[in-house]
Amino acid sequence: MSDQQNPSLTASKLRYPRRPTEGPGINAVHINRAREMAAVTANARLPSHMQSRGQTARPETTHSFTPPRAVKVPVSLGSIAGSRVSIPGPIHPSGCQNPQCADCGSIIIPAPRSSFPVQDSPVIKVNNWCIYSLKKPILNAQEIEAMEERLDFPVPEMIFGNNHIFIKHEAEGKSWEISFNCYDAIKDCDTISNLKVSYHKEWSSYRSNEKSEVPSFTSQLLKQASPSPSPSGETLQLSAVKPYDWTYSTKYKGTVGGQGPQFSRNQEAEIPISKLTRPDPILYFDEMVLYEDELADNGISIVSLKIRVMPTCLLLLQRFYLRIDQVIFRIRDTRVYIDLNTNEVIREYKEQELLYDEVMRMAKNDFKSAGDPGKLLRDPNWCSQMLPVLRTEREYLKI
């Protein structure tokens, strides 16, 4: 049957033409699209003041692809808003690991690297303040065992023990510093928790019934394993796990060091929201996770860090977020505000907590949930707006 006798066959050929006779290959459209995505990604990594305005990253269609050229730091940035800005800063903790370092003539923040694990440490310096940020992969088994030996209790499931943010002020031979790291955050967890999972009563009753039905030979073994007098007359005790907070609720506020002044309690020292909401350029931004645990599929416990640096100030947020399904929500925020011109530092610690059913009721009433209140329950930002504040502590110092 010819194509004229079968119109449907002719139409199918028009919709699905045959592959060229040269053989299989990659469609040029796919190659161009990959180039465009690479250019867009590189442009997005630049600070906001360096990103192209109203331009579409569309490289020329050629067989060889040249990576986008890094944009040099403009000269005017060095004196923006009366602050001395250097991106990245001139000091590197362990040598320059940034392939697009400003000291080498160009910059991309964060610097893209194809190697693994990531080793670069972007730095920015404003006046006498230097900000370091480091993100590395999750700890391996040996590193986790070493941390457990130091802490003497089980650690969370996911540990990013090498992640940290370090802020340092140096002037006149003196230095003041504050850092946020994983080990100190876990070390400052509560010693014990009174929270229990939603099915703890059923589980406890099941375990009690199970123990009452232990066979006679098992009971004999348990008696043999019970504490007994030693030859010296002392009673031998069985080893047990050290009590610890299984929710990993931390009250960590950062680690302060150096020879500078110490924080003093000042409830009147509030973070100036008006200064943070001004449309100033964001010189640097980064976020990371310190540790996370899914609480045996009963919720989540996570500690995260965010930092935002503007020409005149910076704000760091450490957030502990806890959700135990059908039980409770808990948030503990630590905010550090630094005025980069006056050298004033404000640290604010806030605790929020509410029962799970109350938060669920508010999520169902929120029109943004669109029939899925669970989506809001998984959003720490939304929960922080809904949970009542139980306690707020503010501290102040000036260098």
Least confident range of 105-119, 262-276, 320-334: 105-119
Q: Percentage of residues in the chain with pLDDT exceeding 70? A: 60
Confidence of residue 38 (pLDDT cuts 50, 70, 90): confident
Taking the mean position of all CA atoms in its chain, how far away is CA 232? Answer: 54
Per-residue pLDDT reduced to its tens digit, 127-154: 899 999 888 889 999 999 999 999 888 9
User: Residue 129: what pLDDT?
Assistant: 92
Q: Phi and psi (nearest 5°) for 146?
A: -65, -40
End-to-end CA distance of the chain: 91
Taking the domains of the chain in order of start, what are their residue ranges?
26-69, 81-193+244-316+331-348+389-398
Alpha carbons 137 and 161: distance in angstroms, whole number: 9
- Better pLDDT: 196 or 115: 196
Place of tokens 């014990």: 192
The dihedral formed by the CA atoms of 248, 254, 255 and 258, expressed in degrees to the nearest 10? 180
How many angstroms separate the CA atoms of 196 and 178, rounded? 34
**Residues 70, 72, 76, CA angle at the centre, nearest 5°?**
150
Burial of 372 per CB tally in 10 Å (0-12, 13-18, 19+): exposed
pLDDT of 260 over the 90 cut: no
pLDDT digits (tens, 9 = 90+) for 236-258: 444 455 678 899 999 999 999 98
Instruction: Please give the Cα distance from 265 to 269 (Å, whole number).
Output: 9
Partners of 158 in the beta sheet?
292
> Phi and psi (nearest 5°) for 314?
-140, 155
Nearest alpha-carbon partner for 278 in 307, 311, 305: 311
**How far apart are alpha carbons 215 and 395 in whole angstroms?**
60
- pTM of the predicted model over 0.75: no
Average pLDDT over residues 251-275: 92
- pLDDT tens, residue by residue, 199-232: 766 666 665 665 555 555 445 544 554 554 544 5
Per-residue pLDDT at 102 = 46
Q: What are residue 391's DSSP bridge partners? A: 351
pLDDT at 213: 59
Q: Cβ distance 47 to 87 under 8 Å?
A: yes
Count CB atoms within 10 A of the CB of residue 381. 9
Say if residue 25's pLDDT is above 90.
no
The pLDDT value recorded for residue 123 is 78
Q: What is the pLDDT of residue 99?
A: 47
- Token pair listed for 192: 């014990």
